[in-house]
Amino acid sequence: MEGVDHLAHERNRSQFDVNDMKIVWAGSREAFEVSDRMSRLVANDPAFRKDNRVHLTRKELFKNTLRKAAYAWKKIIELKLSEEEAGRLRFFVDEPAYTDLHWGMFVPFLKGQGTEEQLQKWLPLAYKMQIIGCYAQTELGHGSNVQWLETTATFDPKTDEFWWPGGLGKVSTHAVVFARLITNGRDYGVHGFIVQIRSLDDHSVLPGITIGDIGVKFGNGAYNTMDNGVMHFDHIRIPRNQLLMRFSQVTREGKYVQSDVPRQLVYGTMVYVRKTIVIDASNALSRAVCIATRYSAVRRQFGSQDGVETQVINYKTQQSRLFPLLASAYAFRFVGEWLQWLYTDVTQRLAANDFSTLPEAHACTAGLKSITTAATADGIEECRKLCGGHGYLCSSGLPELFAVYVPACTYEGDNVVLLLQVARFLVKTVSQLVSGKKPVGTTAYMGRLQHLMESTCKVQKAEDWLNPSIVLEAFEVRSARMSVECAKRLSQFTNQEEGFHELSPSLVEAAVAHCQLIIVAKFIEKLQGDIPGNGVKDQLQKLCSIYALFTLHKHLGDFLSTSTITPKQASLADDQLRSLYAQVRPNAVALVDAFNYTDHYLGSILGRYDGNVYPNLYDEAWKDPMNDTAVPDGYHEYIKPLLKQQLRNSRL
Ligand SMILES: CCCCCCCCCCCC(=O)SCCNC(=O)CCNC(=O)[C@H](O)C(C)(C)COP(=O)(O)OP(=O)(O)OC[C@H]1O[C@@H](n2cnc3c(N)ncnc32)[C@H](O)[C@@H]1OP(=O)(O)O
Ligand SMILES: Cc1cc2nc3c(=O)[nH]c(=O)nc-3n(C[C@H](O)[C@H](O)[C@H](O)COP(=O)(O)OP(=O)(O)OC[C@H]3O[C@@H](n4cnc5c(N)ncnc54)[C@H](O)[C@@H]3O)c2cc1C
């Protein structure tokens, strides 16, 4: 029945204050207030309707996205929204669009790479959306290997194909273009340029440039709202001052001047976007977990006692699949908060020409982007399976969420390629120990290598696994021993690069171990701080233990093969995990309510706040255009003749 809360019994069981948890999830009371207001503004405006997307053709879908993006922009101006409010409004509109790349990459690149003079020219145009930008780095033949991009920009003291860039296909008027800078006959490698690609008068493509959409992508709706594009340059000319010259310049005479900064600063936007992708992983995973948790509390199947079937959320297998994902959503939230701090810190240091934490920032953003997106993509699919058959319906919200999310494992750096960057960073850290260099930041634990190599796990009973110091040490020991083992095997190769490639699968596993340690450590650090709210900290401690012990269980091979723990201690960890699932069970629905997602944003019949699934699932079916007529199109051409023929045959 409408208006009845079918999950009230679940909400009444919770042992903490959901409103207090909402503040912790949002990061602050102010952040919660902005998010709550923007999500309701979007949910209550029919212009932002999204339940019809699956029935639109690609062109209708794209035009609908342009309409929404323009309407959102009008709202932002009309309501004089702040940058934060505007960002949250676009987030809740929930539609990949060219604006993601304009605000998410084009503007940050300009801000990070332009000179003061260039910023004064281009930023006001970009902020007022008088130009629309995209980020054109990936070519048909190269995406991961940026150093081998083939587009060239040759300085002509007298007077250059991209593939994938979002927003490029149909909308962008300008592009940040990556090309090899050649001047005075010398190739200075990849640099960033700003290039106008369409007329600001009639949007026609400028001469010497060919632009198109790269075609339909994975899944219905999904990322097809975005005009990922293809672009070909044929000897176009741009003014010298459209080389973004904050870190390197070309003089009027064509002389190349490189300021004494690491060349990798040209990659700065990728570090920034990888950081936002980690935060976005917690958004996407929490959304899937919210749907699967509420539906698991509604769904009953088998196991009847006094004539009432069992809620599937009470099955231990359902809990062992669902609750680690719930814990991961919170874990990624908090590591994302820390990564935001790290990024801000490194940016401040760069401004003071202090490049000391740049390698750490690169390794952390690359590694955490990789493991949080992989876990989130797998987690969304697991949430679909946790919802049984109904999870496969678009009205569950899960298929489209999966289809929109999975490219995160590829864009902004293929996950394996990025983990190999972390592996290089770890191997380098271990090798520098010999020379006495003290590791700092997230590798500081390597400074206690002697202890970690000799340490034995102190767990004797299941409850010992609730001790954060014991858990943290186990993850440090596992990671340190895997890195040292790789470094040792690598040292047996005369050609280090050859050794690195030969051992790369093991190196990737060591990189994963290090990144999982960071997530566990940051969750524990979060809990050592002040966590306001009734019962909130207690719940988060349970989720932290679940994240750590589930990760340990999933990677048991590492922990046993490095002798970090014994089989007995592994079994005690399982016992503790099951006990934690039972403790989280009465709080599960309240823990997902704390994400404060509107039904509009969830876009899921299964995840409705009121849990009134079946009547709404049934009604939704009839809305499908397939049910416009009882007799389907094609009956008279293909079914009627067949049935008649079969009837005649049967009488012969
Ligand atoms: C709202 C959310 C949703 C957001 C919505 C988003 C919508 C979708 C957006 C997607 C947009 C895109 O995909 S844009 C395109 C994204 N493309 C990528 O991410 C390309 C991935 N590839 C790369 O980043 C690079 O090619 C590498 C890192 C793999 C290799 O670079 P390389 O130049 O060959 O460097 P390499 O020889 O390996 O290393 C040389 C030295 O540089 C260092 N180094 C390498 N990269 C960096 C770096 N970024 N910062 C600092 N340092 C670095 C290395 O550690 C090493 O240090 P040392 O050892 O010498 O000390
Ligand atoms: C939805 C979407 C949006 C995108 N938006 C943009 C955009 O706006 N702008 C932009 O410039 N680009 C964009 N891209 C492109 C994206 O950045 C690249 O696809 C990404 O960087 C991966 O590069 P690649 O395609 O060359 O993969 P490849 O590197 O070719 O990967 C193919 C396989 O090779 C493996 N591999 C590659 N190198 C190594 C190695 N050294 N060692 C071991 N294995 C290796 C990879 O792990 C992978 O399994 C987008 C891509 C997608 C899917």
Three-state SS for 278? helix
Question: Do residue 239 and residue 290 come from a single domain?
Answer: no
Question: Do residue 375 and residue 511 come from a single domain?
Answer: yes
Question: Do residue 285 and residue 404 come from a single domain?
Answer: yes
In a domain, 602, yes or no: no
What local confidence, expressed as pLDDT, does residue 640 receive?
87
Three-state SS for 273? helix
* Closest-lying ligand 2 atom to the alpha carbon of residue 134: 8
On whether 138 is known to bind a ligand per the annotation, the reply is yes
Contacts of 626 (CB under 8 A, 6+ apart): 632
Token pair in block for residue 398? 């899960």
What local confidence, expressed as pLDDT, does residue 395 receive?
95
CA distances from 152 to 148, 181, 218 (A): 11, 6, 31
Q: Print the SS3 string covering 536-555.
A: HHHHHHHHHHHHHHHHHHHC
Q: pLDDT for 452-493, tens place per residue?
A: 999 999 999 999 999 999 999 999 999 999 999 999 999 999
What local confidence, expressed as pLDDT, does residue 646 receive?
81
Three-state SS for 513? helix
The full DSSP string for 195-241 is EE-B-TTT-PBPTTEEEEE----STTTGGGGS--EEEEESS----GG
pTM above 0.90, yes or no: yes
On whether 166 is known to bind a ligand per the annotation, the reply is yes
Best mutation site among 90, 146, 190, 420 for ligand 1 pocket (most ligand atoms within 8 Å of CB):
146
In the predicted model, residues of the chain with pLDDT beneath 70 are 1-2, 156-162
In a domain, 610, yes or no: no
Contact 580, 546 (CB under 8 A): yes
Burial of 20 (0-12, 13-18, 19+ CB in 10 A): middle
Contacts of 467 (CB under 8 A, 6+ apart): none
Question: Do residue 77 and residue 125 come from a single domain?
Answer: no
Question: Do residue 286 and residue 385 come from a single domain?
Answer: yes
Specify the residue with its C-alpha closest to ligand 1, atom 61.
359
Nearest-angstrom CA–CA distance, 279 and 286: 11
Phi, psi (rounded to 5 degrees) for 216: -70, 135
In a domain, 320, yes or no: yes
What local confidence, expressed as pLDDT, does residue 547 receive?
98
Choose one of 553, 568, 593: the last residue of a domain: 593
Nearest-angstrom CA–CA distance, 92 and 74: 16
Question: Do residue 536 and residue 580 come from a single domain?
Answer: yes
What local confidence, expressed as pLDDT, does residue 369 receive?
98
Closest residue by Cα to residue 112 from 337, 251, 272, 242? 272
Contact 342, 361 (CB under 8 A): yes
Phi, psi (rounded to 5 degrees) for 164: 100, -35
In a domain, 617, yes or no: no
Number of domains the chain contains: 3
Q: pLDDT for 130-179, tens place per residue?
A: 999 999 988 888 889 888 888 888 776 554 445 777 888 899 999 999 99
Contact 403, 218 (CB under 8 A): yes
Ligand 2 within 6 A of 137 CB? yes
* Closest-lying ligand 2 atom to the alpha carbon of residue 101: 8
Find residue 182's DSSP bridge partners.
154, 187
Ligand nearest to the CA of 376: 1
What local confidence, expressed as pLDDT, does residue 1 receive?
62
Question: Do residue 352 and residue 294 come from a single domain?
Answer: yes
Question: Do residue 520 and residue 558 come from a single domain?
Answer: yes
Find the CATH number of the domain harbouring 142.
2.40.110.10
What local confidence, expressed as pLDDT, does residue 150 receive?
82
Question: Do residue 348 and residue 493 come from a single domain?
Answer: yes
Examine the predicted complex and report whether its ipTM is higher than 0.85.
yes
Choose one of 96, 112, 129: the last residue of a domain: 96
What local confidence, expressed as pLDDT, does residue 161 receive?
47
Query: What is the sign, positive or negative, of the torsion defined by CA atoms of 455, 459, 465, 466?
Result: negative
What local confidence, expressed as pLDDT, does residue 162 receive?
59
Question: Do residue 142 and residue 165 come from a single domain?
Answer: yes
Nearest-angstrom CA–CA distance, 512 and 564: 16
Ligand 2 within 6 A of 533 CB? no
Q: How far apart are the first and last CA of the chain?
A: 55
Please give the DSSP secondary-structure letter assigned to residue 114. Answer: -
Given the residues 95, 400, 412, 476, the one annotated as active site: 412
Question: Do residue 232 and residue 132 come from a single domain?
Answer: yes
Find the CATH number of the domain harbouring 58.
1.10.540.10
Please give the DSSP secondary-structure letter assigned to residue 348. Answer: H
Nearest-angstrom CA–CA distance, 448 and 455: 10
Find the CATH number of the domain harbouring 484.
1.20.140.10
Choose one of 230, 259, 288: the last residue of a domain: 259
Please give the DSSP secondary-structure letter assigned to residue 135. Answer: E
Closest residue by Cα to residue 543 from 325, 368, 372? 325
Domain that holds residue 328: 268-438+468-593
Nearest-angstrom CA–CA distance, 136 and 56: 28
Question: Do residue 277 and residue 336 come from a single domain?
Answer: yes
In a domain, 607, yes or no: no
Specify the residue with its C-alpha closest to ligand 1, atom 4.
277
In a domain, 638, yes or no: no
What local confidence, expressed as pLDDT, does residue 156 receive?
66
The full DSSP string for 138-163 is -BSS-SS-GGG---EEE--S----EE
Nearest-angstrom CA–CA distance, 527 and 467: 12
* Contacts by residues 552-561 (CB-CB < 8 Å, ≥ 24 positions apart): 552/474, 552/475, 553/577, 555/478, 555/512, 555/513, 555/516, 558/478, 558/482, 558/509, 558/513, 559/474, 559/478
In a domain, 138, yes or no: yes
C-alpha gyration radius of the chain: 27
| Cα of 92 vs its chain's centroid, Å | 15
In a domain, 363, yes or no: yes
Closest residue by Cα to residue 20 from 610, 593, 582, 584? 593
What local confidence, expressed as pLDDT, does residue 158 receive?
52
